[in-house]
Amino acid sequence: MKMLLCTVLLMFSFGSNAAQVYIDGKVKSIKMFSDVVVIYVTSVPRACNTGQPRVAIDKNDPVFSAVVSSALAAKATDATVQIGYHDSCSVNALSWDFESFWVR
């Protein structure tokens, strides 16, 4: 019984099992709010049926500064990027949840 309880608790201690998606495109725009930054990239689909084709990164994310700096540089140079996101909208209800950012 103790083993079963530990197993169940362990299962619920992990984060969301949302699928991860990776898409290539160009940074169209970047919006900064007090708690989150949203990055619009061409070819990103509308997030959670809102009509907003964007990915959100929380200001408390460990790579926040690097991602925002890289997104601004990619926008300025019109570089191709690969943005990764989770198939969920928990950071911002109108945006996909950030996974990764790669300037090609």
SS3 85: strand
Cα distance between residue 12 and residue 23, in whole Å: 29
| Stretch among 12-21, 58-67, 94-103 having the lowest mean pLDDT | 12-21
Cα distance between residue 46 and residue 28, in whole Å: 14
pLDDT bracket for residue 49 (50, 70, 90): confident
More confident residue, 4 or 74: 74
What CATH architecture does domain 16-103 belong to?
Answer: Beta Barrel (2.40)
Cα distance between residue 74 and residue 85, in whole Å: 18
Cα distance between residue 38 and residue 94, in whole Å: 10
| Stretch among 16-25, 68-77, 83-92 having the lowest mean pLDDT | 16-25
Domain boundaries, the chain: 16-103
pLDDT at 95 over 50: yes
CB atoms within 10 A of CB 40: 20
